Amino acid sequence: MKMKIKPPEKEQSPEARSNIGVRNPFPLAEAILLQKGKIKEPIDWTALSAEQARKLLEKAFKIPYDHLFDPNPEYKSPLYGEPKVGSGVPGPCGAAVVGWETVSADYPPPPPASGTNGLDAQQGCALDCYFIAAITSLAWTSTSSLSCTRVDENRRRYRFRTDGSAVSSNRETTRPLAVNSMGTLVYAKSSGSNVWPSLYEKAYAKFILDTTSDEPPIDTLLEHNPRAALWEVCNYNTGSLNTADVADEFATIRTRGNTGGSNGKTARAMVAWTYHDSGHLPAGYSWDSLIVANHAYSILGVTQVTIGEISNNCIVLRNPFGLSDITAATAKTGVRECTPTWYPGGFYFINGNFAITAAEFPKYFEGFAWRNP
């Protein structure tokens, strides 16, 4: 019997899969429950147990938790698909917006070099996980990669570049952001007091939707290619590979991310994305709020941990939801065992940060991309 050997690595053309995207279930559930009059104040998801969070998600979406993170049309998950219910009628995210206001927050350029290095960015109600993953990875590796300048006290200027093009264009934004009737942000936000992800997303929406309006319909952002999003934001060339074409994902990510060894953070921005549906998963595997189908992630680095008596290579990632109901007790095999020692300030599944063994990585993840030097 001949052994099946993966073909040599071959970089893809810029036209990789462009239908990647999923909404963050936590702000989306809040938007739906708010519209139905079921809540009157923001939900503190971190204060809920995993069981309480899952019950609240099922209450909002009216579908089983196990079906929520899979785009199978039979499940009718509201996390996937076009953001409109009927022609011209906004979905729950757009309908949740009651106005644009200047919120009480810090407005420095993104983000402070001595701060969270991008790990505070959280995807909001829009379908733009690819964008949040991209700006998180860029801030994580080098805040200077984020093309933002301060015009004046009320305005910021952001530079973007159309995928495959060397021509850059600028978009300016002012302070007001989309808020709901509770006065909280509907779209991207920070887990801290800095609104740099919110302003960056607002500028990106103006760029992608080609609008000059300072109140762009962020809810209408559609699925996209995470590698292309990285190109558009970082103004550098990018490369990508499918895991099916890679013989050693750990070694390749270590090299492309310039981690400096087998235990280290990426020095060059990297993103990854999962398969489109459960049809690509091995028997017995499933999706949850940490590892989600058709979703984009930031690659933060690599690490080696000893599981039993065996040394395992692990890939460190971040879910742009910035939140999960998964705990160390409920994390998947190959995830709960990987805890990098170099990660700053601890490592928590509930914040969307996790590591997965290199052996398990290609079972969930379809591909990954990087910023070239």
Please check whether residue 66 lies inside any domain of the structure.
Answer: no
pLDDT category of residue 89 using cuts at 50, 70 and 90: low
- Give the mean pLDDT of 105-125: 74
DSSP state at residue 112: P
Q: How many residues does the chain have?
A: 373
253-257: which pairs have CB atoms within 8 A and are 24 or more residues apart?
Answer: 253/299, 253/302, 253/315, 253/368, 254/302, 256/368, 256/370, 257/299, 257/301, 257/302, 257/370
pLDDT at position 274: 96
- Tens digit of pLDDT for each residue in 352-370? 889 899 999 999 999 999 9
Tens of pLDDT, residue by residue over 292-319, are 999 999 999 999 888 777 888 999 999 9
For residue 356, being part of any structural domain is answered with yes
**Tens digits of residue pLDDT in 55-78:** 999 999 999 998 999 998 899 999
Any domain includes 196: no
Percent of the chain with pLDDT over 90: 58
The yes-or-no verdict on residue 9 having pLDDT over 60 is no
The pLDDT-based confidence of 85 (bands split at 50, 70, 90) is very low
pLDDT tier for residue 111 given thresholds of 50, 70 and 90: low
Tally of domains in the chain: 1
Whether 5 shows a pLDDT value over 60: the answer reads: no
Of residues 145 and 39, more confidently modeled: 39
> What element of type H or E holds 356?
strand 353-357
What confidence score (pLDDT) does residue 116 get? Answer: 63
- Provide the pLDDT for residue 6: 39
What is the three-class DSSP state of 170?
A: strand
Q: Is residue 210 domain-resident?
A: no
In a domain, 295, yes or no: yes
Whether the per-residue pLDDT at 246 is higher than 90: the answer is yes
| Domain assignment present for 285 | yes
Average pLDDT score, the chain: 86
Is residue 284 in a domain? yes
Which domain does 343 fall in, by range? 237-371
Instruction: Indicate the pTM of the whole model.
Output: 0.92
| Domain harbouring 335, CATH code | 3.90.70.10
Please determine, for residue 18, whether its predicted confidence score (pLDDT) is greater than 80: yes
305 within domain boundaries: yes
Please determine, for residue 187, whether its predicted confidence score (pLDDT) is greater than 60.
yes
